Chain A
Amino acid sequence: MVTFQFIPYHEIERLTSAKRVNKLLNIVKQNKIVLLEGRLKKEEETDLIEITMEEIGNKFKGIELSVIYPEKDQFSGFRRMKQGFVNVLLGDRQGMTIIGPASVVKKIEQNPNKIELFTKEVRKSSKRKKR
């Protein structure tokens, strides 16, 4: 079974960058796939990778990360400017960020028009019948 947890942007908007990253990573470490409304700042994305690397051990193998974001070119000049102001004031709520534990999510393939999330097969230990 795969568990998704949706995080609305307002849940992280007042947190510092470090707290945001830690909050998301703590959920992922519970073997849940995070669906975050909007996206992290670019520097926070690298912070997420850095902290992930620090946390990697025998149990936690890292994360799969993907950001779905509307192309800027799709917007007209005025709309792009308006969106820029909104992002500065309210944070970047556009699009969605997917973060999954590498032990569950094999890969996330992102083409311009589709997102594909591949999960790992769970190996079931087969019990041999005693003769």
Chain B
Amino acid sequence: MGFLTNFFNKFFKNLFGKKSHLKLGLYGPPNGGKSTLANRICKDWLGEELSTVSNIPHETREIQVKEQVNIKNKKGKEISFSLVDTPGIATKIDYEDFIKKGMKAKTAKKRAKEATKGVIESIRWLDDMDAVSVVLDATQDPYSQVNITIVGNLAARNIPVLIVANKMDLKKAKMDKVKAAFPQYKVVGVSAKYDKNINDFYEHLFKLVG
């Protein structure tokens, strides 16, 4: 039933032209660099950051939305979208992991509870997205089931996907492995933190939704 609804939604969208204002979601596992990329995009085009970032997983525990982000490419073409930075999707959350990172038990338990709600929220927002960048840490195993489940669900909903292999500034980053894991998708390697190859990311974004 969901498949039919999606099919007709996409059919009518194509029939009456593309939506003028899109929702671009940043999805992925925790600590892949979604918020760092969101901040990079907002800084580049709006001059301000969107989210706080940290090395401790599940820093983003609520959906963050920045309305009306307008980006231009070299040819002067412009796209406008709402940027949606989502909490990282995980299958397990243990407050003791936060304690190991130096948090007090009470804070760690609170963070774990919020993180579980964040994962649920991310999943529920999937249907609202017009396009998604799946942001992966290129130093980590790309074959994790969370990555496969996210990409599979986007495919089932006919949502265009761009895979972003982030943290390419690190020696352990393996772009080839990410490409091999998702052969049917465009993969762009970036370092959101150090502003490497971000223009290439924007060009891919234009091809995805422009």
Is A49 in the interface zone, CB < 8 Å from B? yes
CA A56 – CA B118 in complex, angstroms?
13
Whether B120 and A54, one on each chain, are in contact in the complex, defined by CB atoms closer than 8 angstroms, is yes
Whether B92 and A64, one on each chain, are in contact in the complex, defined by CB atoms closer than 8 angstroms, is yes
**In the complex, what residues of B have CB within 8 A of residue A63's CB?**
91-92
**In the complex, what residues of A have CB within 8 A of residue B144's CB?**
110
**In the complex, what residues of B have CB within 8 A of residue A67's CB?**
145, 148
CA A43 – CA B157 in complex, angstroms?
10
Q: Report which of B94, B117, B141, B149 forms a contact with A49, defined as CB distance below 8 A.
A: B149
CA A101 – CA B121 in complex, angstroms?
22
Instruction: Give the number of residues in B that approach A within 8 Å (Cβ atoms).
Output: 27
Whether A62 and B152, one on each chain, are in contact in the complex, defined by CB atoms closer than 8 angstroms, is no
Whether A42 and B153, one on each chain, are in contact in the complex, defined by CB atoms closer than 8 angstroms, is yes
Dominant secondary structure at the B interface? helix
Which positions 139-155 of chain B face chain A at CB distance < 8 Å?
A: 141, 143-146, 148-149, 152-153, 155
Q: Report which of B112, B145, B153 forms a contact with A43, defined as CB distance below 8 A.
A: B153
Whether A49 and B143, one on each chain, are in contact in the complex, defined by CB atoms closer than 8 angstroms, is no
Whether B112 and A56, one on each chain, are in contact in the complex, defined by CB atoms closer than 8 angstroms, is yes
Is A109 in the interface zone, CB < 8 Å from B? yes
Given contacts A56-B93, A102-B92, contact A43 B156 (CB under 8 A): yes
**In the complex, what residues of A have CB within 8 A of residue B155's CB?**
42
**In the complex, what residues of B have CB within 8 A of residue A45's CB?**
149, 152-153
CA A62 – CA B112 in complex, angstroms?
11
Whether B120 and A53, one on each chain, are in contact in the complex, defined by CB atoms closer than 8 angstroms, is yes
B103 to chain A, nearest CB (A): 16
Whether B120 and A62, one on each chain, are in contact in the complex, defined by CB atoms closer than 8 angstroms, is no
**In the complex, what residues of A have CB within 8 A of residue B209's CB?**
none
Q: Report which of A43, A64, A109 forms a contact with B91, defined as CB distance below 8 A.
A: A64
A63 to chain B, nearest CB (A): 5
Whether A49 and B152, one on each chain, are in contact in the complex, defined by CB atoms closer than 8 angstroms, is no
Is B119 in the interface zone, CB < 8 Å from A? yes
Is B90 in the interface zone, CB < 8 Å from A? yes
Residue with the greatest number of chain B CB neighbours at <10 A, chosen from A45, A54, A110: A45
Given contacts A53-B117, A56-B112, A61-B94, contact A110 B145 (CB under 8 A): yes
Whether A50 and B123, one on each chain, are in contact in the complex, defined by CB atoms closer than 8 angstroms, is yes
Whether B143 and A62, one on each chain, are in contact in the complex, defined by CB atoms closer than 8 angstroms, is no
Given contacts A43-B153, A50-B120, contact A62 B93 (CB under 8 A): yes
Question: A residues within 8 Å of B by Cβ?
Answer: 42-43, 45-46, 49-50, 52-54, 56, 61-67, 102, 108-112
For this complex, 10 residue pairs linking A to B, each with C-beta atoms less than 8 Å apart, are A45-B153, A50-B124, A53-B117, A53-B119, A53-B120, A56-B116, A62-B90, A65-B149, A108-B145, A110-B143
Q: Which 8 A-B pairs have CB atoms at the shortest separation, nearest pair first?
A: A62-B92, A102-B92, A53-B116, A61-B94, A42-B156, A42-B152, A65-B145, A110-B143
Question: B residues within 8 Å of A by Cβ?
Answer: 2, 89-94, 112, 116-117, 119-120, 123-124, 126, 141, 143-146, 148-149, 152-153, 155-156, 180
